[in-house]
Amino acid sequence: MAVIHRTALAPTKLELLTSWLPSRPWYRGGAGEPELARSGGFRLDDPRGEVGIEFLVVTDTCGPHPTAYLVPLAYRGAPLDGAEHALVGTMEHGVLGRRWAYDGCHDPVLVAQFVALVEGRVQAQDQNTSHTPDRDVTCSFTGEGPASTDFTATTATDDREGTALVGRPGAAIRLHRLLRPAEDGSPSLPREAAGHVSGSWNTVDGTRARGLFAVLHADDWARRDARRGRAS
């Protein structure tokens, strides 16, 4: 289980993201630099204990409307080969020393554990407390067979709305970078969804919002489900 160290970071995570977020196509901030606050998130464990995995929710108030973003980060003790384009920045950790922080959508360890979360094989962990599950994070999986086999080789592509993690043809996880609260607190899923992850975050007015973090799309699973429905 991941251990949360109470120590200083230089620069801080928010300072790294202040420089990095405006470079993303899904960033919707104003003319000035981001004005960020931590709003929530969760962690996942690396089975080998080598990579720190955090899904950070930050709210930016520099634009006309506060906007919450989901930012998966992978923390490593050495550079990740071939991932220079995904480097958010480096920071000095008071206990672990220098850490390389990557956009987690390009880190194979984070992607593998996130797919395991969707499948229900691992439990989301509290962002700030060691050895504590985060039961506010909920998941579903209705596909046949392990989704992990579809994401052994993954490409991550950003667009205006978020990030697509594409595995084999017909299988993709859509990561919602811009978080939108569900109107009734219960996120609705598209028909072709074979799984999802949802969670909550703090809003600027002090309330809690809940919405989709990610949706697993698997076209062939949807077609099999449709065939079973017609056969019955």
- Choose among 27, 64, 42, 39: nearest CA to 202: 39
pLDDT band at 176 (very low <50, low <70, confident <90, very high): very high
pLDDT at position 68 over 50: yes
| Contact between 9 and 77 (Cβ < 8 Å) | no
Token pair in block for residue 71? 């930012």
| Contact between 64 and 51 (Cβ < 8 Å) | no
Q: If you average pLDDT over residues 129-135, what whole number do you get?
A: 91
More confident residue, 32 or 200: 200
Q: Torsion-angle region of residue 108: left (phi > 0), alpha (psi -120 to 50) or beta?
A: alpha
Strands 162-166 and 155-158: antiparallel
Cβ neighbours of 44 (radius 10 Å): 26
Q: What is the pTM of this model?
A: 0.89
More confident residue, 70 or 221: 70
What is the predicted pLDDT for the residue at 4?
60
pLDDT at position 84 over 70: yes
- Give the rounded percent of residues in the chain with a pLDDT score beyond 70: 87
pLDDT at position 228 over 80: no
What is the predicted pLDDT for the residue at 145?
64
pLDDT at position 221 over 50: no
